[in-house]
A and B are shown apart, each in its own frame.
Chain A
Amino acid sequence: GENVEQHPSTLSVQEGDSAVIKCTYSDSASNYFPWYKQELGKRPQLIIDIRSNVGEKKDQRIAVTLNKTAKHFSLHITETQPEDSAVYFCAASRGGGADGLTFGKGTHLIIQP
């Protein structure tokens, strides 16, 4: 089955700097890669997703890049703000999202004021 590795487990950045979280996946048939933000005590919130026919996707301060050959994808957050502090999870699945997701272990992002 699919295996998703996520790094780093904890990331501390200064407010205003950029943050990058990286994930690798093992199943070459995976074609849907969402990212979730989870604040303490809340449900995971889908913040951005990418399909394998696209190399990059941006939404304001958030971007995701996908390298199918290397089987890795990354989340980029620019101009970080205190409200970006949370745990971020990457995930992968086949079927364009119609299949269940395999999650990475999560990255605790800390924005230092």
Chain B
Amino acid sequence: SAVISQKPSRDICQRGTSLTIQCQVDSQVTMMFWYRQQPGQSLTLIATANQGSEATYESGFVIDKFPISRPNLTFSTLTVSNMSPEDSSIYLCSVSPRQFFGPGTRLTVL
């Protein structure tokens, strides 16, 4: 299975600011996915990142709020923009085809 790392592991941010989360994989993968897990909840898919094309966003998530980059086959970033306390969650990346998850980024917005 692919080894996935994420940075930062956690952060505390002020409302109105932005945070960029990095996801690095130890092998080339076609698809990378970003999920959100709100406190005590299940996981929700934010978007799918395919190298060389625009990310595909799920209903309820927009590019202006969650811009994604996928510059190569081993790396992706998710930015959480103009943050509010409702954005406090764990953000996780995963890769296809068998979807293993990175360690997650625990974000707290004050």
- Is A98 a contact of B42 with CB atoms below 8 Å? no
Give the distance in Å from the alpha carbon of A1 to the alpha carbon of B97 in the complex: 20
Taking the closest CB of chain B, its distance from the CB of A75, in whole angstroms, is 15
B8-63 contacts to A (CB < 8 Å) = 30-31, 33, 35, 41-45, 48, 58-59
Q: What's the Cα separation between A99 and B43 when bound, in Å?
A: 15
* Chain B interface helix/strand/loop/mixed: loop
State how many residues of chain A have any CB contact under 8 Å with chain B. 23
Point out which of B30, B33, B42, B101 has the most chain A C-beta atoms below 10 A from its C-beta. B42
Q: Smallest distance from the beta carbon of A97 to chain B beta carbons, Å?
A: 4
13 new A-B contacts, CB < 8 A, other than A34-B98, A98-B31, are A45-B101, A46-B100, A97-B97, A97-B98, A97-B99, A98-B30, A100-B48, A100-B58, A101-B45, A101-B99, A103-B42, A104-B42, A105-B41
Which of chain A's residues 43-64 have a Cβ closer than 8 Å to chain B? 43-46, 49
Q: Does B107 contact A (CB under 8 A)?
A: no
Question: What is the CA–CA distance of A96 and B98 in the complex, to the nearest angstrom?
Answer: 9
1/0 per residue, CB under 8 A from B, across A77-101: the answer is: 0000000000001010001111111
Q: Using a CB–CB distance below 8 Å, which chain B residues touch chain A?
A: 1, 30-31, 33, 35, 41-45, 48, 58-59, 92, 94, 96-104
Taking the complex as formed, is A102 at the interface, i.e. its CB lies under 8 A from any CB of chain B?
Answer: yes
Does more than half of chain A's interface fall in helix, strand or loop, or is it mixed? mixed
Q: Are B43 and A98 in contact (CB under 8 A)?
A: no
14 example contacts (A-B, Cβ-Cβ < 8 A) are as follows A34-B98, A34-B99, A36-B101, A46-B101, A49-B98, A89-B43, A91-B99, A98-B31, A100-B33, A100-B58, A101-B35, A101-B43, A102-B45, A105-B42
* Shortest Cβ gap from A35 to chain B (Å): 11
Does the CB pair B104–A43 fall under 8 Å? yes
Select one of B42, B45, B58, B102 contacting A43, CB under 8 A.
Answer: B102
Nearest residue (CB) in B for A49 is: B98
